[in-house]
A and B are shown apart, each in its own frame.
Chain A
Amino acid sequence: MGSYYINRTFFFDVHPPLGKMLIGLAGYLSGYDGTFLFQKPGDNYEHHSYMGMRGFCAFLGSMLIPLAYLTVLELSRSLSAALLTAALLTFDTGCLTLSQYILLDPILMFFIMAAMLSMVKYNSCANRPFSAPWWFWLSLTGVNLAGALGVKFVGLFIILQVGWNTLSDLWHLFGDLSLSMVTLGKHLTARILCLIVLPLALYIATYAVHFMVLNKSGPGDGFFSSAFQARLSGNNLHNASIPEHLAYGSVITVKNLRMAIGYLHSHRHFYPEGVGARQQQVTTYLHKDYNNLWIIKKHNSNSDPLDPSLPVEFVRHGDIIRLEHKETSRNLHSHYHEAPLTRKHYQVTGYGINGSGDSNDFWRIEVINRKFGNRIKVLRSRIRLIHLITGCVLGSSGKVLPKWGWEQMEVTCTPYLKETLSSIWNVEDHINPKLPNISLEVLQPSFPEIMLESHMVMIRGNNGLKPKDNEFTSKPWHWPINFQGLRFSGANDTDFRVYLLGNPVVWWLNLLSIALYVLSASVFAVAVQRGAHLPVEVEGLSQVLLRGGGQLLFGWMMHYFPFFLMGRVLYFHHYFPAMLFSSMLTGLLWDTLLRLCAWSLASYPLARCVHVLGILSLLLGTAYRGPRLGRRFLIRGHVKVRRRTKRSWREEEGILQPLGG
């Protein structure tokens, strides 16, 4: 993806641009020329210089460990807890694998952890409000939030967490009667400034840079609206001049107004038997293609309107027209057959030979919010095509056709006349030699419009990542138990493979710790609620457990549970941000519990002993399994060894696919 930035061609991806921009920057600085294709995993880099980009990701990935260390240290004030956390992350093979390659995840995790750390830091500065460190950590939180959201939308979860923390903080301050309303106002403004305005500004700035850098037409054009494309150089709409009003005989492309649906398209393939009438398919297609061209004709005459002897006749609102597919000379046609996927709609086909069909080819063209008789403007008029005989409206259902339809999208004629975007179209390209061209400069959309549109397209793209039939998908409940890994790379003829899988000792310990945490935290909470008087030392530990641990547990839940609600394709690596939180929780919990044990044993040396021994054994446990597994997975990577541990870790064979998600 970084290549696109270096080549400055426009592309489309479901994630916000910051992460790819950073990778692109790293690549640019390290002398990568953007020529490698990155087509599929397993390709050799050959002579391309990729170490800069990998190094950058690996650096951010290794920064996770000190960040986690500092966070836990701040929350628990205990060196051993922080050390334990750091050890867990250091020896986790999953984190190791994930941060070694050119991926967005290390960048995302870096920003999430940095945001968490700065939030914790500024919380502990709360007794010195408006001091320099306070301001520093507060604004750093804002910066990191912008970074996290700018890399992937998963960053939204950490924003919610910080937001919740800020709200409860403000609520706490608000209840403090010693503060005047003016001071409270200052507090509120400071937070709005640093946590809302600053991140938003940065986030928008990344987009500004994104659009500024990518000013050439590229593979992502078709996803965007006509107006959007006009600003990309190299696109046929850039600085284009086309006739303004639609006339009979014009060659046009028709684009659906709903985002990421594409152009009305047809090709020389029939609907398969059993799917409506066996006539030529009509679909929508996202890419520019000759098969998107249609000729607009009068319904009743077949004379060539381009004949120079005839006067130019404009198409007007309410006219009855016929749309002839330019390549195949078939007419856009509909009839009382059910559509291939949406059973309640009618099928749309291409029908007739050399432009002569029947009365089912007649459509009434209507412009939204216009009076009858007006001309139709290219690009700006929002039109509907109403089938004359059945009275239905041409629309796209947005569903992807099966293989016989080349996985393009279904076009139907819907009998429901409600105005929805999917049944509204606009004319994009327009070729008519008899008409004067006008320039399209007026179309340039403003920056907020571009922002909004690219977000809509990204959200639609994200929702569109549905698992295909029979494709193996990972379920969220698989993740914490380390049920099944994810194959990253590996050519079949060598022994070197990369398989993303967590260190089972670390992961199962994490899982156990969460259960244990919930148990111990509720015991403490009930004890406090019952009004039991705790000794000072236990009181302090319970505070660490409830406050610090609570924040970490909340972070884990925020980064894990929303995935259960998502309909899109999910992958194992989505769990890693949550895993960071649960590792920190583990460190904090075990340290606190061991301290409690040590406290209940009266004599000091013995207590000390128990504590140190416990921490050491945990450290050794993770370290013992960690490198061993790591070596197998990363360096030797033999298939059979893995089977021994768990059946579901079996190597998946077949074609590797880039995830893109």
Chain B
Amino acid sequence: MLGFLQQPVMVTTEVNLNMVALTAVGLLSRLWQLAYPRAVVFDEVYYGQHISFYMKRTFFLDGSGPPFGHMLLALGGYLGGFDGNFLWNRIGAEYSSNVPVWSLRLLPALSGALSVPMAYEIVWELGFSHCAATGAALLLLIENALITQSRLMLLESVLIFFNLLAVLSYLKFCNSQKHRPFSPRWWFWLVLTGVACSCAVGIKYVGVFTYLLVLGVAAVHAWHVIGDQTLSNVGGLGPPSPGWGDVPSILWQVRVLCHLLARAAALVVLPVLVYLLFFYIHLLLLCRSGPHDQIMSSAFQASLEGGLARVTQGQPLEVAFGSQVTLKNVFGQPVPCWLHSHQSTYPMIYENGRGSSHQQQVTCYPFKDVNNWWIVKDPGRHQLVVNNPPRPVRHGDVVQLVHGMTTRLLNTHDVAAPLSPHAQEVSCYIDYNISMPPQNLWRLDIVNRESDTDVWKTILSEVRFVHVNTSAILKLSGVPLPDWGFRQLEVVGEKLFRGYHGSTVWNVEEHRYGRSQEQKERELELHSPTQVDISRFMARFSELQWRMLTVRSDDSEHKYSSTPLDWVMLDTNIAYWLHPRTSAQIHLLGNVVIWASASLATLVYALLFIWYLLRRRRRVCDLPEDRWLRWVLAGALCAGGWAVNYLPFFLMETPLFLSHYLPSLPFQILLLPVVLEHISDHLCRSQLQRSLFTALVVAWFTSACHVSNMLRPLTYGDRSLSPSELKALRWKDSWDILIRKY
């Protein structure tokens, strides 16, 4: 039992000094003068806003990506004690003293720095030499665009970090698979792969491409596991018996099944859970109402502190006859609005000569107003107060809606609506005594009901109003009325109803029982409990995720937008920042030598790969089997990683920037030393050729370092350059380098 005491406790460590050195220079390059410039640089203006929202814990909606990336940046702000009080309004604005610039920029910089030793590890795990691995890391180290991007409050470097981490941990997992499956090490790397993948997806949606790549490679490997006959012999159950469907032989399949299940759990289930966790934390943090409340549904808004929650807090849950309510349209396009009426009537004759009923207008109004209140009335009785006990309104009940301020009844009839003539006009009925009888009965149709006797609930129920006489449905057409309607939105009775559509569905947002005295105690009983349980989280998550994916910004053009074809050879750049007085400036500008040679290496790899593949098909093996597998795996992960992160942009229609290329760039750079080593090992036939090639590589690397050094002022923005120096740096006509005119 105490056997472990009989042996001394030994700790042996190996330190790879290469790694240490690379980490150190990586940190140095990324962290040097991190707090400079002390001004808003490019997209910091955008991420900064989100950080401020996190600090103030107000809710916001952002369509650009899932919340994990913003939360990481906000973590930096939190650790630096940022209070969120800064107006992120323009690029170049000087930071005030309360903004902890250094700690805000620390996390991206750290992830940028750690990418360097990770590149080393990846190439090493792929089975290539230390020399190639060091080369890959050094190339990543001196790549100017990556340095620029990681030194600022931006997310690309964090995304790259998790992408590389996912690939690295998958490789580690693969290599431990050969030796000891199901060991702690094996589990650790497998789980880390899943977590890193979901972190990548959680930072930007494009992370999903790397995830799919890893999944694809894992699926191929799993398929090999299925075909692996040796696995079936484990446990002494004997060789597979002939014939399939043989029940005892199923037993030896269990181990294979375990392999598959472990992979599925770690690579599919776990990432989904982690992704949900990000949203859970996001919603936990952002608990106050903010500027984007309006876009969300009433139920969502009610879950935020302040805003609607303050209004709806303590209001009764069940709508009863006599309730006073405001009705919000669920669709909310073009703007969220409430059912509204006011004293004005429809004009007798419209501009185009059609006539109207000349009755009181009913519209949808995007602001809170006393005219948004309606009273739910039982057609059989005259009173407008709630009975004791309240009689709840149920699905299928016929109701009348009384406009609170004018006490007129919501009505529709066979008169064409002002702007949507195919639909019926909706009005508040005025009796002009002209043989136009009131038609003000509406049947309540609860859309999201669970049973047919469901009660109409505040906020939760989505209801439709079906007109009893004409079976028209109350609908927001979304067209703004002309001047006579005060530019409010038109509401119509839709006769030709086709299926579910949000514009015909309404929900009660504010609700109170009609004023009568002795109801107080019963009201207290009816108060809805407000606790966050898992089902509510899922509802909030799906709503938030859906809105994030569908919210559109209509920025169709930008000065620095570019097309994917411009990226491969670095034909474009982005000016990030310009010093307010001198001509010191920061550009997103890569190391041209590295970009061009990495693209070339990809091409060489593709050609060599096809050549080898065809030759192998004809049974001519140029490479030994293990070398070939290594070569294929390196290509699948590096060239594949580049392709999946790059090619989808050709299909995207939103404005694209050079920074979109950055996630795919490290993969391409990783491929470079792999191809070089392959050429030197397999294609250089004599020692002389090999030495020559090595000399060439050294010369090339020196030139890359030189270029990197020359572009350094534009990367760090620390030195003001003279106009002639700037002109000299403008190597391509398409580069836009800012030259101050004195």
Known: A529-B227, A533-B242. A344 touches B498 (CB 8 A): no
Give Cα A343 to B619, complex, Å: 62
**A177-B619, A533-B242 as given contacts; A526 in contact with B498, CB under 8 Å:** no
B614 at the interface (CB under 8 A from A): yes
CB distance from B248 to the nearest CB of A (A): 14
Residue B618 interfacial (CB < 8 Å): yes
- A45, CB-defined interface residue at 8 Å: no
Query: Taking the complex as formed, is A652 at the interface, i.e. its CB lies under 8 A from any CB of chain B?
Result: yes
A343 with B242: CB separation less than 8 A: no
Is B227 in contact with A530, judged by CB distance below 8 angstroms? yes
- Residues A530 and B556 in contact, CB atoms below 8 Å apart: no
Bound together, the chains give a CA A412 to CA B498 distance in angstroms of: 38
Whether a CB of chain A sits under 8 angstroms from the CB of B350 is no
A28 proximal to B (CB < 8 A): no
Could you tell me if A533 and B619 are in contact, using CB atoms closer than 8 angstroms? no
Q: Is A416 within 8 A of B498, CB to CB?
A: no
Distance between Cα atoms of A343 and B556 in the complex (Å): 9
Question: Is B382 interfacial (CB-CB < 8 Å)?
Answer: no
Interchain Cβ contacts under 8 Å between A and B, 22 examples = A174-B614, A175-B618, A342-B557, A416-B557, A416-B559, A469-B478, A470-B477, A470-B478, A484-B499, A529-B226, A530-B232, A530-B240, A530-B256, A531-B240, A532-B240, A532-B244, A533-B243, A534-B244, A565-B651, A648-B499, A650-B498, A654-B422
On whether the beta carbons of A344 and B555 are closer than 8 Å, the reply is yes
Bound: A565/B651 CA distance, A: 10
- For the complex of A and B, 5 pairs with smallest distance between CB atoms: A532-B244, A529-B227, A175-B617, A529-B226, A533-B242
B79 in contact (CB, < 8 A)? no
Check if A208 is an interface residue, CB within 8 A of chain B: no
B223 lies within 8 A of A529 (CB): yes
Which of these, A174, A414, A470, A652, contacts B617 with CB under 8 Å?
A174
Q: Which residues of B contact A414 (CB under 8 A)?
A: 557
Residues of chain A at interface, number, CB under 8 A: 28
Tell whether A533 pairs with B496 under 8 Å between CB atoms, given A177-B619, A654-B422.
no
Known: A175-B617, A344-B556, A652-B496. A533 touches B244 (CB 8 A): yes
8 Å CB interface, A342-359 against B: 342-344
Whether B253 and A342, one on each chain, are in contact in the complex, defined by CB atoms closer than 8 angstroms, is no
What CA separation (Å) do A416 and B561 show in the bound complex?
A: 11
A74 CB → nearest B CB, Å = 28
CB distance from A390 to the nearest CB of B (A): 16
Of all chain A residues, the one with the shortest Cβ separation from B556 is A342
Do A344 and B243 touch (CB < 8 A)? no
Once A530-B227, A530-B253, A533-B243 are accepted as A-B contacts, the answer to whether A652 and B498 lie under 8 Å apart by CB is yes
Task: Give A515-536 as 1s and 0s: 1 = Cβ < 8 Å from B's Cβ atoms.
Answer: 0000000000011011111110
* Selected contact of A177 from candidates B232, B556, B618, CB within 8 Å: B618
Q: Does B533 have its Cβ within 8 Å of any Cβ on chain A? A: no
Q: How far is the CA of A408 from the CA of B253 in the complex (A)?
A: 67
Give the CA-CA distance A527 to B243 in the complex, in Å. 10
Is there contact, CB below 8 Å, between A171 and B617? yes
Interface 1/0 per residue, B218-229 and A, CB below 8 Å: 000001001101
- Measured CB to CB, the closest approach of chain B to A648, in angstroms, equals 6
B452 contacts partner chain A, Cβ-Cβ < 8 Å = no
* Closest CB in chain B relative to A399 CB, distance in Å: 9
- Chain B 547-559 interface mask (CB, 8 Å, partner A; 1/0): 0000000111101
Number of interface residues of B (CB under 8 A): 27
Whether A472 sits at the interface, judged by CB under 8 Å, is yes
CB closest residue in chain B, given A567 = B653
Bound CA–CA A527/B249 (angstroms): 12
Min CB gap B695→A, angstroms:
38
> In this complex, what residue of A is CB-closest to B616?
A175
Measured CB to CB, the closest approach of chain A to B182, in angstroms, equals 20
Complex: how many Å from CA A343 to CA B232? Answer: 66
**A653 beta carbon closer than 8 Å to chain B:** yes
Encoded as 1 (CB less than 8 Å from any B CB) or 0, chain A from 553 to 583 comes to 0000000000001000000000000000000
Alpha-carbon gap, A414 to B558, bound state (A):
11
Q: Which residues of B contact A529 (CB under 8 A)?
A: 223, 226-227
On chain A, the residues within 8 Å of B496 by CB distance are 652-654
| 9 extra A-B contacts, CB within 8 A, seeds A342-B557, A530-B256, A648-B499 | A174-B617, A174-B618, A344-B556, A416-B559, A526-B226, A530-B253, A531-B240, A533-B244, A653-B496
List, in ascending order, chain A residues with CB within 8 A of B243's CB. 532-533, 535
Contact residues, B613-662 vs A (CB, 8 A): 614, 617-619, 651
CA distance A652 to B497 in the complex (A): 9
User: Which residues does chain B contribute within 8 Å of A650, judged by CB atoms?
Assistant: 498
A416 to B229: give the CA distance in the assembly, Å. Answer: 64
**Alpha-carbon distance A493/B240, docked complex (angstroms):** 73
Q: Which residues of B contact A535 (CB under 8 A)?
A: 243
| Inter-chain contacts of A565 with B (CB < 8 A) | 651
Closest to A399 in B: B556
Q: Give the shortest distance, in Å, between B431 (CB) and chain A (any CB).
A: 32
The answer on a CB contact under 8 Å between B554 and A343 is yes
Chain B residues near A652: list those with CB within 8 A: 496, 498
- Chain A residues near B559: list those with CB within 8 A: 416
CB closest residue in chain A, given B226: A529
Distance of B739 from chain A, by nearest CB (Å): 17
In the complex, the chain A residue whose C-beta lies closest to that of B244 is A532
Chain B, 221-273, CB within 8 A of any chain A CB: 223, 226-227, 229, 232, 240, 242-244, 253, 256
Cα separation A531 to B224 with both chains bound (whole Å): 12
Shortest CB–CB separation between residue B335 and chain A, in angstroms? 14
Given contacts A174-B618, A344-B556, A529-B223, contact A472 B498 (CB under 8 A): yes
Contact mask for chain A residues 438-474; partner B; CB cutoff 8 A; 1 contact, 0 none: 0000000000000000000000000000000110100
Give the docked Cα–Cα distance between A527 and B242 (Å). Answer: 12
> Which residues of chain A are within 8 angstroms of B477 by Cβ–Cβ distance?
470
A653 to B423, CA, bound (A): 12
User: Which B residue's beta carbon lies closest to that of A538?
Assistant: B244
| In the complex, per-residue mask of B709-739: 1 if CB is within 8 Å of any chain A CB, else 0 | 0000000000000000000000000000000
Which residues in chain A, 486-532, are within 8 Å of chain B measured between CB atoms? Answer: 526-527, 529-532
Interface code A148-185, partner B: CB below 8 Å = 1, 0 otherwise?
Answer: 00000000000000000000000100110100000000
CB distance from B30 to the nearest CB of A (A): 34
Give the Cβ gap from A462 to chain B, nearest Cβ, in Å: 15
Chain B residue with minimal CB distance to A650?
Answer: B498
CA distance A470 to B333 in the complex (A): 11
Q: Could you say which residues of chain A place their CB within 8 Å of the CB of B229?
A: 531
Nearest-CB residue, chain B, relative to A523: B244
Chain B residues whose C-beta falls within 8 Å of the C-beta of A177 in the assembled complex? 618-619
- Chain B min CB distance to A632 (Å): 21
B residues 255-296 touching A (CB-CB < 8 Å): 256
Nearest Cβ on chain B to A647's Cβ, whole angstroms: 8
B-side contacts of A534, CB under 8 Å: 244
Interface core residue of B232, B244, B498, B618 (most chain A CB under 10 Å) = B244
Distance in Å: Cβ of A469 to nearest Cβ of chain B: 8
- In the bound complex, residues from chain B placing their C-beta under 8 Å from that of A174 are 614, 617-618
Instruction: List chain B residues, Cβ under 8 A from A171.
Output: 617
Question: What residues on A are CB-neighbors of B422 within 8 Å?
Answer: 654
Task: Report the nearest A residue to B651, measured CB to CB.
Answer: A565
Taken together as a complex, chains A and B put the C-alpha atoms of A161 and B478 apart, in Å, by 45
CA distance A171 to B618 in the complex (A): 10
A469 CA to B503 CA in the complex, in Å? 12
- A406 vs chain B, min Cβ distance (A): 15
CB distance from A380 to the nearest CB of B (A): 27
Residues facing B in A177-198 (CB within 8 A) are 177
- CB A636 to nearest CB in B, in angstroms, measures 23
Taken together as a complex, chains A and B put the C-alpha atoms of A268 and B219 apart, in Å, by: 65
Residues of chain A contacted by B614 (CB below 8 angstroms)? 174
Q: Name A533's closest neighbour in chain B (CB-CB).
A: B242
Nearest-neighbour CB distance to chain B for A404, whole angstroms, equals: 11
| Bound-state Cα–Cα, A572 to B482, Å | 37
Q: How far is the CA of A123 from the CA of B601 in the complex (A)?
A: 39
Question: How many angstroms from the CA of A652 to the CA of B499 in the assembled complex?
Answer: 11
Chain A residues lying within 8 Å of B498, measured Cβ to Cβ, are 472, 650, 652
